[in-house]
Chain A
Amino acid sequence: MARLNVNPTRMELSSLKKKLTSAQRGHKLLKDKRDELMRQFMNLIKENKKLRLEVEEGIRTANRYMAVAGSVMQREVLETALMMPKQEVELEISEKNVMSVNIPVFSPKYRTGDTDDIYSYGTAFTSVDLDGAIMALSDIFPKMIRLAEIEKACQLMADEIEKTRRRVNALEHIMIPDYQETIRFITMKLAENERSTTISLIKVKDMVLKQNHNFS
């Protein structure tokens, strides 16, 4: 704790008192913000973990099919089969504001109306495992989009929580105690000045009385 470097005047005192009130109000607000962010973050992170496990499992299944397809089909045939995709996905991005954190929200837009219309090849020359792989990926894809969304949200919220926590701590442990100490210092200094003035007045009075009326 350090006393601020200010002149001990009444003007400084009143401005410091104002600053202290707003610092205390800010501290309370930021603390509430931090708590609410944390609550929402905990909900999100649980969902994030669940989704990630599901997505990883889904992709593992797809990869297993893909490995089999790759071993029974020629590489070129496999590549040709996937060369010209039928489907195209674009993400419509909107924003959600959670406690002043802007979180992107993705909603997929498919080129063809039928989301199952994904097989870009005839079935004659390709292995059935390739169908399985693509089916598995297509099943997991909505979850992958949600995962991208929620993972980003968690990262952004973690940043914001960290920032807010620092602000709360700076206010709580540095600014507010500093203000309080400085206010105490100025109050004492002013009282001291007042006493000193009173004493000199009494002394002057004594001196005047002594000079004019010979009081002792």
Chain B
Amino acid sequence: MSELLKTAVIGDSASVSGFSALGLSVFCETEADKISVLINKLASSGFGVIYITEPAAALAVDTIKKYRSRRLPSIVLIPAVGGNTGEGMRGLHETVEKAVGSDILK
């Protein structure tokens, strides 16, 4: 089984505009409610991977958590222009803790 899916980038315009040159669908959004709505909409309309900047992700934590256990889409946190908040790495540590019982990556 194979299907063709699109890739999206969500975040503030300074962080994400470069991705449009690569052919990704770019959405500039910085309001909490709109980000959640957008993620839900993208997930149900054929997007396989959603890259989201860490500050934007911090506004829609619950929505992102909801998609963690689904097969698709894969939501990946990327650092924004303002710098790396370490939220993406924290997600990784959470995954390890869930699987192993304690964080062994430290």
Beyond A52-B88, A66-B14, is A89–B4 a contact (Cβ under 8 Å)? no
Chain B residues contacting A133 (CB-CB under 8 Å) are 18
Beyond A89-B23, A137-B21, is A104–B74 a contact (Cβ under 8 Å)? yes
Report whether over half of chain B's contact residues are helix, strand or loop; otherwise say mixed.
Answer: mixed
The proximity string for A residues 79-105 relative to B, scoring 1 for CB distances below 8 Å and 0 otherwise, is 100110111111111110000001010
Chain A residues contacting B71 (CB-CB under 8 Å) are 102, 104, 152, 156
By the criterion of a CB under 8 Å from any partner CB, how many residues of chain B are at the interface? Answer: 42
Q: Are A145 and B92 in contact (CB under 8 A)?
A: no
Determine the residue in chain B with the shortest Cβ distance to A152.
Answer: B74
Chain B residues contacting A90 (CB-CB under 8 Å) are 4-7
CA distance A38 to B95 in the complex (A): 12
Q: Are B92 and A151 in contact (CB under 8 A)?
A: yes
Residue A168 is within 8 A (CB to CB) of chain B in the complex = no
Q: Are B79 and A104 in contact (CB under 8 A)?
A: no
Residue A144 is within 8 A (CB to CB) of chain B in the complex = yes
Chain A residues contacting B69 (CB-CB under 8 Å) are 155-156, 159
Chain B residues contacting A60 (CB-CB under 8 Å) are 79, 83-84
Residue B15 is within 8 A (CB to CB) of chain A in the complex = yes
Q: Are B17 and A79 in contact (CB under 8 A)?
A: yes
Determine the residue in chain A with the shortest Cβ distance to B2.
Answer: A94
Chain A residues contacting B84 (CB-CB under 8 Å) are 56, 60
B binding-site residues for A, Cβ under 8 Å: 1-7, 14-15, 17-24, 48-49, 51, 68-69, 71-72, 74, 76, 78-81, 83-84, 88-89, 91-92, 95-96, 98-100, 105
A138-B21, A161-B99 provided; 11 other pairs, C-beta below 8 A?
A49-B105, A63-B15, A63-B81, A85-B22, A85-B23, A102-B71, A109-B4, A119-B21, A120-B21, A152-B71, A158-B99
27 contacts between A and B (CB under 8 A): A38-B100, A41-B99, A56-B79, A56-B84, A60-B84, A63-B81, A66-B15, A82-B20, A82-B21, A87-B23, A89-B6, A91-B5, A91-B6, A91-B7, A92-B2, A93-B3, A102-B71, A104-B71, A118-B22, A134-B18, A134-B21, A134-B22, A138-B21, A138-B22, A148-B76, A158-B98, A159-B98
